[in-house]
Structure 1
């Protein structure tokens, strides 16, 4: 990067390029005003000869900056600065997220098992819930393993919001797709919130098989990896259905199903009450769930939800759960299963020991 006397550039020291995406090049930098804290600077690189294409690239880049300003969620990279130069260069500055993206992890170490995939998927659903419940809803539109960072603490973080957009029904969007992860409707410029569920399903299939999903195909990871749980395979098939109406309706519905699958793996894991009610409602039964879950089980899992999180979507539910739990006799003697977040942290430490 060429030296620049502008005061803004004096604040950041550019260390090295980290990579290049669809709209820009990404640098590792240090913020001199914050004790040289590491950060990431994304610069718009426009090689479009067509003025209209260049204008569209600039528009998307500016929209990413405006969108990131609004977000306050631990599963979304924090944006805190931007800058435009007189000669038309655009820069975004965001937190440095330690760890590795899921695509590189799979490429280096092979597929994830069902357990780790469910743990990752639940965190992804939490972020999608947050985005889809904005007013208007935000569609991420580019969910894939390379855009998901896994930190050493087991946190999944969404990065690169360059093509995310607000959802306006009956309004066509720019046709931006990633083959294998984008659903059919996105090819026609008509993405909706369930388009992100398709992309999540395709991503989970990739994590379980190590193979990039085929474009516009229903993902069936058990065809490749027989170790994939039947229930997880079934959920992924429905998430990647061609018709949006055949997919789960919301990210919350998917999260609730994932809780049930996680309970299948760890019978001691108690499904949150809100998820039990939803699952029973969808199944048409108000009887206690199968697999030994008590009808009134309401222990909220001490997972990533237990961290201090701004704008926690489940805060009210957790407060209710805590009041219920506090009123119960403490009869449980055996140790609870490891939390989802801590299990991912343990997995990370074992996987990258000595690296």
Structure 2
């Protein structure tokens, strides 16, 4: 149910799946390489977070990748473990050897990919896609089929491919915005177009990249238009500009659209911190949902509102996503922030003390000094002990 103060529609009862590809597409971030043991640690955290599917890797690419996938398939029991495979029998065979029960097979469907990368005709692409799906289903696997570069494909050809693989037994279809060229209204249109033109019993998914900074918006628009699953990565890690940030999409789906998920939102910050540490990629301070500034307030007007009612300047409670509220002081602060901090330290905020602390804070701020919590405590101690009155 959407939180009070949000714009969601509570009680819809609609469920949205999340496939996390941090360990596959996320690991394709330039300069990142995880040991199998690190991948297992992240997979177990993703299971704890409650994602429906964990894309554990691409087992044919290396022996280490194969070992990691097999280890994850053995240890993870509460989330589906799925792996990537090209539309080739040898790739799917390697997935079967890794003991997974689900495979994410793909082939490109855009003219530019078919001509310059695959060097295949449209009929050959359909034949390969169908053969891969049939082979995987014959071995008892759940099959998700992705049309790589779907968003630059001719829509008529895309639905022809999708219909062919659904007829062959595919359980899920994925619209891949491989180079991030979609925008929300166009993504919504494409989702509706596929839904209207591909018959059968399947789950429709989207996989969005962030080349134009719209991966999250495109994913949310897709869900609103009828997509039932979203691919994402923790912190939005991934190739080039990254993937849709799973924590942002999930929060929007839950708290704005009011749809149901399996995500344990209070675990989001833990997952973000773990991925940041093992990937060696710091989380930007202004990152939505999990950045240190996401629930931090300095402006005097904002702090006054937050103290009276947090929903005045926060869309959701930070505790919902494992975060905490921070009142920060700086040149934009007002008396309410200083009073709040003094009370949190057990100090009665008299007018003289508040004025003196605030004056010193603003003086330092105008000098370009960033005031840390330790700096503030020193200023407060100086004022109270009579060592400074400015």
Q: Normalising to structure 1: TM-score of the pair?
A: 0.27
Would you tell me which structure has more helix in proportion to its own residues? 2
Higher relative contact order (CA 8 A, sep 6+): 2
- TM-score, with normalisation over the residues of structure 2? 0.25
Highest CA radius of gyration, 1 or 2?
2
